């Protein structure tokens, strides 16, 4: 059953030395006799095949793993390049095979944006501002005379100045022309000239000036008379010997009427023909004289200036020429003609604001994106 092992002969030139047996024990398998030839050739015994087969399998496995890792690296690089630039066509050649990678990106973006914006703004602003300032003064003649029919007192020389006024202006009651310039003393006083010498009355020592700072109004009054304020709108000038007073009052004229219109509005029963029209010396204010000649009304801007004479129950009046001198000497600062200090006023403001805003916005957006 077991074959004997022949001991090899000593090595020589014709018989080389046989390889050394492996240090590990050998497994000897005997094949069935039917598979053995009739004779057995001599020679070196082949090396066992079990160890070489294992090594071959391990080497093949290592090569397969390395090839897989390399292929993974190459494939990852190709994917990264394609993700970074999708518009390029990449040809990647890997040995031993050729890898043709084509990345075709077709991006069709159709953006149709239709914006229809209609803005209709109908703004109707109606502002009606009606300012009605009404001051009803039923007493157009503000004097306190109880004898409206009193006549002027004695005028000896008939020059227009009563004997009492001759004393006020230091003129000669027996001479119609005290300074000999050819003009009556009374006419010079009424027109603002000096009856005692040359020049204007304002430049003489016979009169002094009063100024209402609130309204910018100035008048002349006799220097021998006293001045006192009754209110911010009324100043009194009094002649103690004659017991007569001239008052200068400021009244409202919101409609900017003429003096005659204003007077008739306050006293509609008065006959317009009974009013004498007059003007100030500087021609800046128009005026009228009341029918009894005891009051002057001058209109300037939104004010009416009333210059009135009060003499009580006396049967005669001394100072009508002086009254005219004070009234016609009125001057008004143009920058203050619109001052309104009357507290008896009614103001009506009507504001109507209608605002209509109509805004229509229509936006139509269409986006067509095709990626292949």
Cβ pair 162, 153 in contact under 8 A? yes
Secondary structure of residue 228 in the 3-state scheme: strand
Residues in the chain: 372
- What does the domain layout of the chain look like in residue ranges? 186-336
Q: Is the pLDDT confidence value at 175 over 90?
A: yes
Q: Is the pLDDT confidence value at 182 over 50?
A: yes
Q: Which residues pair with 116 in a beta bridge?
A: 362
pLDDT in tens, 193-221: 999 999 999 999 999 999 999 999 999 99
Q: Distance between CA atoms of 300 and 258, rounded to whole angstroms? A: 8
pLDDT in tens, 340-359: 544 444 444 445 555 555 55
Give pLDDT, residue 145. Answer: 76
Within 8 A by CB and 6+ apart from 329, the residues are 192, 201, 202, 218, 219, 220, 280, 281
Q: Specify the CATH superfamily of domain 186-336.
A: Mog1/PsbP, alpha/beta/alpha sandwich (3.40.1000.10)
Strands (DSSP E) along 127-255, which ranges?
151-152, 207-212, 217-222, 226-231, 234-239, 244-252
Give pLDDT, residue 160. Answer: 96
CA geometry: angle 15, 20, 26, nearest 5 deg: 125
Pairing state of beta strands 151-152 and 207-212?
Answer: unpaired
Q: Distance between CA atoms of 151 and 317, rounded to whole angstroms? A: 6
Q: Which residues pair with 370 in a beta bridge?
A: 108
Q: In what side-by-side order are the strands of the sheet with 234-239? A: 226-231, 234-239, 244-252, 303-310, 295-300, 286-289, 276-279
């Amino acid at each position: 059953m077991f074959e004997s092992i022949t001991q090899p002969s000593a090595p020589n030139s014709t018989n080389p030395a046989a390889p050394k047996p492996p240090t590990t024990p050998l497994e000897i398998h005997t094949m069935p006799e039917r598979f053995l030839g009739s004779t057995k050739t001599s020679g070196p015994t082949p090396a066992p095949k079990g160890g070489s087969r294992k090594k071959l399998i391990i080497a093949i496995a290592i090569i397969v793993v390395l090839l897989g890792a390399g292929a993974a690296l190459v494939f990852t690089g190709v994917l990264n390049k394609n993700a970074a630039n999708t518009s390029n066509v990449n040809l990647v050649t890997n040995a031993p095979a050729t890898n043709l990678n084509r990345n075709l990106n077709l991006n069709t973006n159709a953006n149709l944006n239709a914006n229809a914006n209609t803005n209709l703004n109908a703004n109707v602003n109606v502002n009606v501002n009606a300012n009605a300032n009404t001051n009803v003064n039923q007493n157009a003649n503000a004097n306190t005379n109880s004898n409206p029919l009193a006549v002027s007192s004695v005028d000896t020389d008939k020059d227009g100045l009563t004997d009492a006024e001759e004393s006020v202006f230091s003129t000669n009651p027996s001479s119609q022309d005290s300074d000999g310039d050819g003009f009556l003393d009374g006419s010079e006083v009424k027109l603002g000239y000096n009856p005692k010498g040359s020049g204007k009355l304002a430049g003489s020592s016979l009169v002094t000036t009063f100024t209402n700072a609130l309204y910018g109004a100035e008048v002349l009054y006799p220097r021998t008379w006293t001045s006192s304020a009754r209110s911010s709108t009324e100043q009194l000038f009094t002649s103690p010997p004659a017991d007569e007073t001239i008052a200068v009052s400021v009244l409202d004229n919101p409609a900017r009427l003429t003096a005659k219109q204003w007077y008739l509005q306050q006293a509609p029963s008065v006959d317009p023909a009974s009013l004498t029209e007059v003007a100030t010396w500087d021609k800046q204010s128009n005026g009228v004289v009341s029918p009894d000649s005891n009051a002057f009304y001058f209109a300037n801007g939104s004010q009416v200036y009333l210059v009135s004479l009060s003499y009580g129950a006396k049967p005669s009046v001394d100072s009508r020429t002086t009254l005219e001198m004070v009234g016609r000497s009125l001057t008004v600062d143009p920058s203050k003609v619109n001052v309104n200090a009357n507290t008896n006023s009614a103001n009506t403001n009507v504001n109507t604001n209608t605002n209509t805003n109509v805004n229509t916005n229509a936006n139509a957006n269409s986006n067509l994106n095709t990626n292949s």
